[in-house]
Structure 1
Amino acid sequence: MHADRCPVLVICNRFNLTTQSTQKRYDKRIKQMERVVIVGGGAAGIRVAQALAKNLTEADDTEVIVLEKNSYFYHVVGAPRAYVDGDYTNKMFIPYDNAIPKHAAKFVRIVRGVATHISADTNEVSYHLIGTDDKESETTEKLKFDYLVLATGSTYSVPIKPDNRDYARSATEKKLQEVRGHIERAEKVLVVGGGA
């Protein structure tokens, strides 16, 4: 990868996460940035969007778009607790409505969709929109980008994570309930590990 095509490096420079010499070299390019596309609105992706919202203004002439398949942030670390505490399930789904500060709403937005292709040649992300019915459109849309952040998260089994192709919150809640039912009917339970 060429140094001039390293979008994450440039974004990191904006937040002083690289050396001073690198900072000076890219300061001019940051001011010319027009659109940042963030693929994924999980913990890393939404954090990048929030940091850009905090550090940019409308005068910076920069648009930030988060492309995320869900209409909510899913707090995956809480899944084991939700397996045994049904009331906790509601706390795991945090709507994106207030994720971006109001002052940044004109230049930072969340688009509900699934990335299907990324072209480094044309600097475009192809994606399918997800409607309010939680269904994926078959029509391919495209987003041009000047800088791209890939924050697609981790992948492991449902029900800890939402299903890759079922975007409805109710589908994840149903999976959590199924596991809770298995635990309630179990005669013995073995807990392995004591992480988060």
Structure 2
Amino acid sequence: MPRILIVGGGPAGVAVAQSLAAELTPKDDTEVLVLEKSKFFYHAVGTPRAVVDANYTNKLFVPYDNVIPESAKSFVKFQRVIVTRIVPGANQVEYAPIGDDDELLAGPVKSMAYDYLVVATGSTYTVPIKQPKNNFKRSTTETKLAE
């Protein structure tokens, strides 16, 4: 079964995942994994509005469960990890998994093979425009928005 890894669940990564979800079917026997640190898509473009309208803050956070159609959820999945290294010659990525408590899981770095790799890691800005690099909690970003 071919595996397509998408590193990053921002606008570009989600767009690629949605395109693949629309084009592929379970019969294609292809696995699509989006490797992302967060539980949700953070709509950074809406940040200025949330700064002046606290009621808008909830609209900035879209759970990843809501971005892929039900018909594709058997082969397009999100996995909460931080990719620490890409090994192109071996067609592998190394990663550290993130637990349900938004903390990195202890243990050795893991690796995963791929047939196709999409790097969609996006840009870096300060909080609250973007999430902090090593903090995956929604509450951290919400607190910064309220300041």
TM-score scaled by length of structure 2:
0.96
Alignment of 1:21-60 (within 5 A): 34-60=2-28
Alignment of 1:1-16 (within 5 A): none
Structure 2 Cα separation of the partners of residues 61 and 167 of structure 1? 32
Match of 1:17 in 2: none
AA partner of residue 154 (structure 1) = S
Task: Decide which of 121, 130, 134 is 2:89's aligned counterpart.
Answer: 121
Q: Does 1:166 align with 2:123?
A: no
Alignment of 1:40-189 (within 5 A): 40-139=8-107, 140-178=109-147
Structure 2 Cα separation of the partners of residues 167 and 156 of structure 1? 15
Structure 2 Cα separation of the partners of residues 138 and 147 of structure 1? 28
AA partner of residue 174 (structure 1) = T
Q: Deviation above 3 Å: which 4+ runs of structure 1? A: none
How many angstroms does 1:138 deviate by? Answer: 3.5
Gapped regions of structure 1 (runs ≥ 5): 1-32, 179-196
Structure 2 Cα separation of the partners of residues 160 and 172 of structure 1? 9
CA-atom RMSD, angstroms? 1.0
- Name whichever structure is richer in strand by fraction: 2
Give CA deviations for 1:16-50 in whole Å, capped at 9, x if unaligned: xxxxxxxxxxxxxxxxx701000001000011001
AA partner of residue 126 (structure 1) = E
Structure 2 Cα separation of the partners of residues 144 and 103 of structure 1? 25
Same amino acid, percent of matched pairs: 55
- Name whichever structure is richer in helix by fraction: 1
Q: Secondary structure of the equivalent of 1:132?
A: coil
Rg bigger for which structure? 1
Higher RCO by CA contacts (8 Å cutoff, separation 6 or greater): 2
Structure 1 Cα separation of the partners of residues 110 and 69 of structure 2? 27
